[in-house]
């Protein structure tokens, strides 16, 4: 097993803390980005805490020093449109800028239904749109990545742990009928993606069905189609976010991210 230096952003959240625990179990060196020192006390022994925030770009460069990989599990739900843009999108954009010439692998958690634009959730806070724009930046960055879109957290029954990796994001009910998954399994898939060649440049929806958990997720990653080179969206995704209708600042960011990696 390859041992990595892993930065976890969102490390004290309901998924992030499990990512930290799973990464430690896999013998990775873990650094956690925390908003203040009081949050650092929630972390397990052996985790290095660095005070910072994705909405404070000046804190991201120091947090990245020496890191091989970053796992992002940030959450701004319920905080409105400005927070959705700041946390899901601008934070990711600024992280990519801070990565600069470094070779860093990214595991990004977004959500199932991220391509659904007309439902109540997206109309309320534009969370789907800003998460999807963040996905697009990652794809344009040229960095190795895995994008995981989990179903509804912990709505799975006691016997529902058989993982299903889906693609195309066609489940748009906005209810647990779209798919369910345990928080622990989300964390496991995110951490496993960091050392799996089969997970590189893959975008997936993650749900669980009736049955036992798999002993190895690599075959599930291997069965997925990779995202096309130099693409905006995940393979098989709906073509319902035309680039020419995107905000000017978003189009500029995409150009800058791609140009930055090309010159790096």
- The domain spans of the chain are 5-263
The pLDDT of residue 130 is above 80: yes
pLDDT above 80: residue 264:
no
Residues 6+ apart with CB under 8 A from 255: none
**Residue 262: predicted pLDDT:** 65
Residue of 151, 115, 150 lying closest to 131 (CA atoms): 115
pLDDT tens across 51-94, in order?
999 999 999 999 999 999 999 999 988 788 999 999 999 999 99
Is the domain spanning 5-263 CATH 3.40.1390.30? The answer is no
pTM assigned to the model:
0.96
The predicted pLDDT at position 230 comes to 86
φ and ψ at residue 141, rounded to 5 degrees: -70, -25
**Which pLDDT belongs to residue 261?**
65
Q: What span, in angstroms and rounded, lies between the C-alpha atoms of 224 and 238?
A: 17
Query: What three-state secondary structure class fits 203?
Result: strand
Q: Is the model's pLDDT at 1 over the cut of 70?
A: no
DSSP-assigned letter for residue 211 = B
- Cβ neighbors of 48 (< 8 A, separation 6 or more) are 29, 30, 31, 32
What mean pLDDT value characterizes the chain? 95
Question: For residue 260, is pLDDT > 80?
Answer: no
Tell me: pLDDT of 118 over 80: yes
Share of the chain above pLDDT 70, in %: 98
The predicted-structure confidence for 155-164, as pLDDT tens digits, reads as follows 999 999 999 9
Q: Which of 33-42, 179-188, 200-209 has the lowest mean pLDDT?
A: 33-42
- Could you tell me if 84 and 127 are in contact, meaning their C-beta atoms sit under 8 angstroms apart? yes
pLDDT at 193: 98
**Tokens standing for 31?**
């650094």
In this predicted structure, what is the pLDDT of residue 38?
80
pLDDT, tens only, 13-24:
999 999 999 999
* pLDDT greater than 80 at residue 245: yes
């Amino acid at each position: 097993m390859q041992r990595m230096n892993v930065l976890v952003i969102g490390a004290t959240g309901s998924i992030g803390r499990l990512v930290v625990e799973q990464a430690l179990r896999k013998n990775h060196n873990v650094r956690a980005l925390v908003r203040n020192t009081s949050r650092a006390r929630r972390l397990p022994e052996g985790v290095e805490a660095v005070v910072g925030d994705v909405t404070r770009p000046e804190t991201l460069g120091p947090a990245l020093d020496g890191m091989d990989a970053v796992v992002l599990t940030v959450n701004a739900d319920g905080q409105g449109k400005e927070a959705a843009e700041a946390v899901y999108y601008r934070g990711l954009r600024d992280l990519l800028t801070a990565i600069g010439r470094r070779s860093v692998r990214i595991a990004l958690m977004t959500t199932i239904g991220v391509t659904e634009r007309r439902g109540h959730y997206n109309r309320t806070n534009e969370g789907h749109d800003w998460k999807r724009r963040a996905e697009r930046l990652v794809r344009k960055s040229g960095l190795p990545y895995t994008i995981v879109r989990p179903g509804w957290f912990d709505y799975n029954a006691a016997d529902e742990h058989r993982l299903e990796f889906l693609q195309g994001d066609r489940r748009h009910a906005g209810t647990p009928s779209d798919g369910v998954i345990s928080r622990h399994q989300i964390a496991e898939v995110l951490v496993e993606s960091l050392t799996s060649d089969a997970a590189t440049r893959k975008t997936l929806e993650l749900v669980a069905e009736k049955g036992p958990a798999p002993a190895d997720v690599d075959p599930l990653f291997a069965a997925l189609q990779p995202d096309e080179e130099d693409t905006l969206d995940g393979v098989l995704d709906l073509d319902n976010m035309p680039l020419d209708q995107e905000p000017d600042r978003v189009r500029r960011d995409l150009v800058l991210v791609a140009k930055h990696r090309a010159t790096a």
